[in-house]
Amino acid sequence: MHTYASALVALSLSVSTTAVMAQTTDHADIALKSDTIAWDFVEGITTEVGPRQAGTEAEARGRAWAVRWLNANGFTNVADEAFMMDTWVRGTETAEIIAPFPQPFHVTALGTSAATPAGGITAEVVEFKTFDALRAAPAGSLKGKIAYISHSMTPTQNGSQYGFAGPARWVGASVAASKGAVASVIKSIGTDMHRNPHTGGTTFADGVSPIPAGALSLPDAANLERMFARAKGKPVTMKLVLTPRDLGQTRSGNVVGEIVGRDPSLPPVLLACHIDSWDLGTGAMDDGAGCGIISAAARHASMANQPLRTIRVLFAGAEETGLWGSKAYAAAHADEKIGVGLESDFGADRIWQIETNFGASNPELVKKLAAAVARFGVASSAATATGGADINISREQGGAIIDLQQDGTRYFDLHHTPDDTLDKIDPVQLRQNVAVWTAVVQVLANETSPIMGAAQPAR
Amino acid sequence: MHTYASALVALSLSVSTTAVMAQTTDHADIALKSDTIAWDFVEGITTEVGPRQAGTEAEARGRAWAVRWLNANGFTNVADEAFMMDTWVRGTETAEIIAPFPQPFHVTALGTSAATPAGGITAEVVEFKTFDALRAAPAGSLKGKIAYISHSMTPTQNGSQYGFAGPARWVGASVAASKGAVASVIKSIGTDMHRNPHTGGTTFADGVSPIPAGALSLPDAANLERMFARAKGKPVTMKLVLTPRDLGQTRSGNVVGEIVGRDPSLPPVLLACHIDSWDLGTGAMDDGAGCGIISAAARHASMANQPLRTIRVLFAGAEETGLWGSKAYAAAHADEKIGVGLESDFGADRIWQIETNFGASNPELVKKLAAAVARFGVASSAATATGGADINISREQGGAIIDLQQDGTRYFDLHHTPDDTLDKIDPVQLRQNVAVWTAVVQVLANETSPIMGAAQPAR
């Protein structure tokens, strides 16, 4: 017994030493402590390129920069896969209250906004406290008016209030136009209080002629609402100048690169982000960080050993203006089976939860992933992953999807604003992202069985 | 003993009841709980007028608004005392890096900046890490260049880093011009990280021809500094367009109002702020709040009883562009002795310290003031008050001055930016300001002896 007990102790020490050693040489842990790859990407692209609006020469410079960077950072099969898209660009944008309390406001046009005449539109502003109130307005009741849509958006960790407040931006202008409005302005879809309005796309329903559609900064929206209260029923008149224009079809592209696996016949692990940004900021949180995170994870996960499966990064073009890149990639690669798709496009703050869409078909892999990320403070959730905007291909294939949920509490302070700049990225949280992604990619890229489980059902 | 003891107890109860009653009816305490006057002023002027740049029609609207407000809020002898001033107004302002990393920056012109041609100036940017480094540059070394001046500014409670970082703005352009620079841009004098550059006046020395002088937002300045590092010695070229213009002499004015005292022959208590603001924000923290605070205090301090001395409020015009109003007031009222001067011009955050310049000549009054403000968390300091910009008259008369020091930790996040808007004001801290000012004004306006002490020496 003594000998056996000693042997057990020795074995236990040995196992534990091995476990400790394995842990200290795990590349996810190395990434947490010392990754510089993600920061190098996001610092580089925000400094050397800056804003990268979809379909413009700035996005093209961004793609060219990313191609160079991927080639210089150990990726192969790097390419810029072209597609064509409809491109809209900003012009002059000013707003001012003419009466009863003249003063200038900060406004920005929403993507696909129509243009005002160069001299602007001057009209009475009609206030709607919510998007539902606008929808309830009688037909024709906004004839000759500018509709103003307010709402209230609270910061949330999971970003869920974007869905709650977002419709005012996504379709508010269309609803206002359908009731006769000559223009619309919304309170920016955001949670900050700075004079930096939030842009973003808006969509006009079929049969509705686009109108000029702007967003006021939140302090300006608050000021406008005080004006309504103080005007005591007198008309509040705004002069709005928005002169965006359509460029027609221009070239965009998806930048791809690979770490080729030992068995390239296995479906690859697809890591996605988007390379374009809105024009107002420098695309740091949205989504330079995401491209930096996935690229860094691909590298860390393959530093010790060539992975079994190919790891492919997809820097989608033209996400912001309608998922052009994601759609083009899904169409161009429809016949190539993807093993699993993941996207990073929610800033650079800490990951706190992992979700998959294969909990039922492959519970063992879910357990393995949960164990791999637990030490970084990431909980496993039973919620079903639905994937981000840039992995249409995985959704279309009914394939495996994983969502790594980031803390979105301050994301909508910055989203689509001039303030989306490098200084907003916390290097410590950025490295936590890289560590979690590395841990996940290490598991996925070395998974021998089908990721959706043996059945791998089509959806 | 029993009787005597009972009497003592009764006396003690009676004193304590009186003390409690006195305290609960003190108007400073009422102000702390429920003042609405200060908020009404600052909400009103930021909403109904907005930006009020010195010498412009917007400042004139601000003065007219303030005159109406003072008349409606219990002040008498309300007037707008005219003076003439040199007026400079902003034009177009854009900055972009042309090479090696093209992207747009956020810039604003500094007050009295010269104009570039309409098409701008394109030139190499030379970086100076500090203002002292610029001063050390050899004569003629900036010929044909744009000087960029950096610095680092840390938030401080007492605002002392404004003196440390400020020279880059105050005289940086002049020093750059004297060495041949065709323009200068500085990192904004501020402590925020938003794309809202900080304006403010700059001054050119005698014999130095003004050059275009701008300030970059802090995120843009950080980006420019990264560009210098990444350019590795290649020239960094900027195109700068600033087209401000001088309007020559225009009318401004000082708005005054009074709560007349029981003995108008006694030198009045002068409470000052400034009515003008920079044009970028709505002048909420700088200095709508100050005018609201002093007006509310004047009202609270005279609600229970007519004060002994007259309380005069001075909303100085044209402070931001060179203390024109303060100088004009001192000149116009040189023969009217002021009892004591105080100014509120440092936002609306909590007051934490009181300073006077009569500690030696009137220690009893200093004790009385210290006792009056202690319950609001305000400590008494032995530092000598020097007074704010708008009480030149008190300094010129060698008169009594009190400084009520506000917490400036976040003041330079907002100072001279588009972000100086009502939403930045915390109503609880605003009311603490009104309470402290009310407590101080109650003492001063009922002080029978000379405030500088019996001697009241001329300085």
Is residue A22's pLDDT more than 70? no
Is residue A458's pLDDT more than 90? no
Is residue A15's pLDDT more than 80? no
Give A117's DSSP letter.
P
Which residues of chain B have a CB within 8 Å of the CB of A222? 421-423
CATH 3.40.630.10 residue spans of chain B = 30-84+249-445
Look at residues A318, A343, A436 and name the one whose alpha carbon lies nearest to residue A394. A343
Give A114's DSSP letter.
P
Residue A163 CB contacts under 8 Å (≥ 6 apart), including other chains: none
The single-letter code of the amino acid at B155 is P
Is residue A16's pLDDT more than 80? no
Residue in A43, A194, A226 closest to B419 by CB? A194
Do A240 and A146 contact (CB within 8 A), yes or no?
Answer: yes
Is residue B9's pLDDT more than 50? no
Q: Report how far Cα B122 is from the mean position of its chain's Cα atoms.
A: 35
Q: A4-13, A441-450, B190-199: lowest mean pLDDT where? A: A4-13
Q: Tell me whether A277 touches chain B (CB under 8 Å).
A: no
Q: Residue range A308-322: average pLDDT? A: 97
Interface mutation target, options B47, B97, B234, B278, chain A, most CBs of A under 10 Å: B47
DSSP per-residue letters across B236-290: PEEEEEE--EEEEEEEEEEEEEEE--S-TTSPPEEEEEES---SSS--IIIIIHH
Q: How many residues does chain B have?
A: 459
- Taking only the tens place, the pLDDT of each residue in B393-447 is 999 999 999 999 999 999 999 999 999 999 999 999 999 999 999 999 999 999 9
Which residues of chain B have a CB within 8 Å of the CB of A100? 48
pLDDT at A256: 98
Percent of chain A with pLDDT over 90: 93
Residue in B47, B218, B419 closest to A223 by CB? B47
Sole residue written with tokens 């029981």: B262
The complex's ipTM works out to: 0.92
Q: What confidence tier does B25 reach under pLDDT thresholds 50, 70, 90?
A: low
DSSP per-residue letters across A270-289: EEEEES---SSS--IIIIIH
CATH 3.50.30.30 fits B92-245, yes or no: yes
Q: Verify whether the Cβ–Cβ distance A103 to B194 is below 8 Å.
A: no
* Minimal CA separation from B387 to chain A, in Å: 31
| Residue B396: both structure tokens together | 């010129």
Interface mutation target, options A47, A68, A415, chain B, most CBs of B under 10 Å: A47
Q: Residue range A54-68: average pLDDT? A: 98
Is residue A270's pLDDT more than 50? yes
Rounded to a whole number of angstroms, the CA Rg of chain A reads: 25
pLDDT at B57: 98
Tally of CA atoms within 13 A in the half-sphere of A124 that contains its CB: 13
Beginning with the edge strand found earlier in the chain, give each strand of the sheet holding A146-149 in spatial order.
A103-105, A93-99, A237-242, A121-128, A146-149, A183-187, A213-216, A107-109
pLDDT at A453: 85
Percent of chain A with pLDDT over 70: 93
Do A370 and A440 contact (CB within 8 A), yes or no?
Answer: no
Chain B residue closest in CA terms to A280: B104
pLDDT at A5: 39
Give A344's DSSP letter.
-
Which residues of chain A have a CB within 8 Å of the CB of B101? 47-50
Do A258 and A333 contact (CB within 8 A), yes or no?
Answer: no
Strands B76-89 and A245-259 turn out to be: unpaired
Q: Tell me whether A49 touches chain B (CB under 8 Å).
A: yes
Q: What confidence tier does B336 reach under pLDDT thresholds 50, 70, 90?
A: very high
* Minimal CA separation from A90 to chain B, in Å: 14
Q: Residue range B81-93: average pLDDT? A: 98
- The three state secondary structure string of B170-228 is HCHHHHHHHCCCCEEEEECCCCCCCCCCCCCECCCCCCCCCCCEEEECHHHHHHHHHHH
- Taking only the tens place, the pLDDT of each residue in A168-221 is 999 999 999 999 999 999 999 999 999 999 999 999 999 999 999 999 999 999
State the count of interchain CB pairs (< 8 A) between A and B. Answer: 98
Residue B285: which region, alpha, beta or left (left: phi > 0; alpha: psi -120 to 50)? alpha
pLDDT at A459: 39
Rounded-to-integer distance, Cα B452 and Cα B413, Å: 37
Rounded-to-integer distance, Cα A54 and Cα A275, Å: 9
pLDDT at A25: 64
Q: Three-class SS of residue A96? A: strand
Look at residues A358, A341, A444, A346 and name the one whose alpha carbon lies nearest to residue A393. A341
Residue B174 CB contacts under 8 Å (≥ 6 apart), including other chains: B202, B203, B204, B205, B208
What is the signed CA dihedral for A95, B251, B61, B49, rounded to 10 degrees? 50
- Own/partner contacts of B64-70, CB < 8 Å, gap of 24 or more, are B66/B255, B66/B275, B66/B291, B66/B315, B67/B255, B69/B41, B69/B44, B69/B45, B70/B255, B70/B257, B70/B295, B70/B313
CATH 3.50.30.30 residue spans of chain A = 91-243
Q: What confidence tier does B454 reach under pLDDT thresholds 50, 70, 90?
A: low
Q: Is the peptide bond before A287 cis (omega within 30 degrees of 0)?
A: yes
Buried b (16+ CB within 10 A) or exposed e, B243-279: bbeeeeebbbbbbbbbbbbeeeebbbbbbbbbbbbbb
Is residue B345's pLDDT more than 60? yes
- Taking only the tens place, the pLDDT of each residue in B206-259 is 999 999 999 999 999 999 999 999 999 999 999 999 999 999 999 999 999 999
How distant, in Å, are the alpha carbons of A74, A384, B30, B265, B359 from that of B197? 40, 44, 39, 48, 41
Q: Verify whether the Cβ–Cβ distance A418 to B104 is below 8 Å.
A: no
Tally of CA atoms within 13 A in the half-sphere of A411 that contains its CB: 23
Q: Verify whether the Cβ–Cβ distance A48 to B222 is below 8 Å.
A: no
- Taking only the tens place, the pLDDT of each residue in B41-80 is 999 999 999 999 999 999 999 999 999 999 999 999 999 9
Interface mutation target, options A48, A93, A422, chain B, most CBs of B under 10 Å: A48
Which residues of chain A have a CB within 8 Å of the CB of B417? 195
Residue in B104, B230, B419 closest to A47 by CB? B230
Q: What confidence tier does A51 reach under pLDDT thresholds 50, 70, 90?
A: very high
pLDDT at B453: 85
Q: Residue range A15-33: average pLDDT? A: 66
**CA dihedral for A371, A376, A377, A380, sign (positive or negative):** negative
pLDDT at B253: 98
Q: Can you count the helices (H) and strands (E) in chain B?
A: 15, 16
CATH 3.40.630.10 residue spans of chain A = 27-88+248-445
Percentages helix, strand, coil for chain A (3-state, rounded to 5) are 35, 25, 40
Q: Tell me whether B225 touches chain A (CB under 8 Å).
A: no
Q: Tell me whether B321 touches chain A (CB under 8 Å).
A: no
pLDDT at A14: 42
Q: Tell me whether B427 touches chain A (CB under 8 Å).
A: no
Task: Give the architecture-level CATH label for domain A91-243.
Answer: 3-Layer(bba) Sandwich (3.50)
Buried b (16+ CB within 10 A) or exposed e, B303-328: eeeebbbbbbbbbbbbbbbbbbbbbb
Topology at the third CATH level for domain A27-88+248-445 = Aminopeptidase (3.40.630)
Q: Verify whether the Cβ–Cβ distance B423 to A227 is below 8 Å.
A: no
Strand partners, A103: A97
Q: Verify whether the Cβ–Cβ distance A101 to B47 is below 8 Å.
A: yes
Rounded to a whole number of angstroms, the CA Rg of chain B reads: 25
Please state which CATH number belongs to domain B30-84+249-445.
3.40.630.10
Which residues of chain A have a CB within 8 Å of the CB of B53? none
